[in-house]
Each structure stands twice: as C-alpha cells, then as structure tokens.
Amino acid sequence: MISIKSQTELEKLAVAGRLSANALMYGGSMIKAGMTTYELDKLIHDYIVKNGGTPTFLGYGGFKGSACISLNEKVIHGIPSKHEVIKDGDIVTIDTGATVDGWCGDNAYTFPVGKVNEETLKLLEVTKEALRIGIAQAVPGNRVGDISHAIEEYVRSFGYGIVKEYCGHGVGRTLHESPEVPNYGAAGKGPRLMPGMVIAIEPMISLKGDAIRQLPDGWGVVSKSGAPTAHYENTIAITKDGPEILTKATI
C-alpha cells in the first residue's frame, strides 16, 4: 500500500534526508587511494551518529555495514571490508541512509578516484543525468512508468545496460515501501503519482549489458560482463509544485 505523508511527516523525512545526503558527501570527500572500504564505512558511521542519526543500513536484513560501498563492476550492496583496498582509477559507489526520529533517508553516488578513464567517466555523467531526467517526471498526475521510461530511453541512447532486478522504491518509516520504481518500462503505466508520496529514484547502469550476478556473500551484485557500473539515487517528495529532493546535502 502506498502511503501519503503529511506536511509534518515530510519535514521529518527532510531532516533524515539531509543527514543522509551530508553523510554521503562527507564519505565521498574522505575517499583516498590506499584506504579500505571498511575504513570508509567507519567514517560514515561515525558521521551519522555524531549528527544525531542512526545508520539505516546497519543490521538491515543482517547487513554488516553502515553503508553499501561498491567498487567498479560491483553495482550495489557491497559489504565494507578490511581486505578491500580502494585504488587510483577506481569508481566507488556509496549508498547510505540515516534514520532520524524513526524516519529514513536513502541516497547514493558514484565517486571517481584519481585518474579514471574517459569511457567510465562518461558512464557516470550519463547515469547522473538519467537520475535528473527521472526526477523531472516525478510530478502529480504522472505515473511511475513515466519515470521509468524517461530513464530507460535516455540510458539506452548511449548503448548502456540497465540493472532490471533492482529498482527504486517508496521511503518512509521503513527503508523500502511501495511503490517500486523500475529504471525501465512503459510511459503511462504503474501507480499514479500524488502529492505526499515519497520515493527513491535510483538508476543502476552498466557500461556493457543488463546481466548481473550475485556474489557468494549473498549481498554484492556485479555486472556479469565485468564492466564498470554506476549508481545515483535521491529520495524525493512529490509535491503540487513538482519534485522536491529530500536528500540534499548542506555541507
């Protein structure tokens, strides 16, 4: 069931969203070649707690990190590890959220580290723009499929792959609510968007092909081709005046 949030609830979601975004951007600013993904996760964890939140992902479904940290061909759900070292030329996707007063935020960003090749940088640029294009469709009266179709049409024009097994979702007192928001599909289909709905839109795009495989740890997901992947995400509120990004950093 899709929940419609009151203005008071939207304000609380904005607080959680702001901390989520600040933690994400703080984490991105701290990335250095030679550090482990475990060290990066610890920094994000401490930032969230210091600023009055609880890491939403920590313990979620048994997840062991405060952020999903995914390198290169790893699309999502990378478990932070003391044995995984970030190198110059890597791309690092951080997906994290903070819970404040029982309300969740959720956002993601793919950060280039050092000298990244032009082909991969183009993938990042297109995926980021796909998120912007999807958000622009999040207006009252449109349907979820309008978001999905806009993202797919743009991404496919570059020949990139779209991860179909995972998608955006509603956000509220729990991290994942209805409706699902795929990154592909037909315009004019799916639930109608109404003021007070809160959704996470999150293109997950591969340089080559749609196919993925899950790692033996049961969490990490990589492109089957081994090609780089990018992931950008914002939590937004549908308002009568258009989409409002709740995960907007202030640092």
Domain at 22, CATH number: 3.90.230.10
Range of the domain at 238: 7-245
In a domain, 75, yes or no: yes
In a domain, 62, yes or no: yes
What pLDDT does residue 143 have?
Answer: 98
Query: Per residue in 168-211, pLDDT tens?
Result: 999 999 999 999 999 999 999 999 999 999 999 999 999 999 99
In a domain, 251, yes or no: no
Peptide bond into 112 cis (omega under 30): no
What pLDDT does residue 196 have?
Answer: 98
Number of domains in the chain: 1
Sheet of strand 91-96: strand arrangement: 67-71, 91-96, 107-112
Q: Which residue has the tokens 């492109």?
A: 223
Q: What is the token pair recorded at 129?
A: 């723009």
Quick one: which H or E segment has residue 107?
strand 107-112
In whole angstroms, give the CA distance from residue 31 to residue 179.
Answer: 33
Answer for the pair 229, 68: CB distance below 8 angstroms, yes or no.
no
In a domain, 2, yes or no: no
Answer for the pair 172, 5: CB distance below 8 angstroms, yes or no.
yes
What pLDDT does residue 106 have?
Answer: 98
Q: Which residues of the chain have pLDDT under 50?
A: none
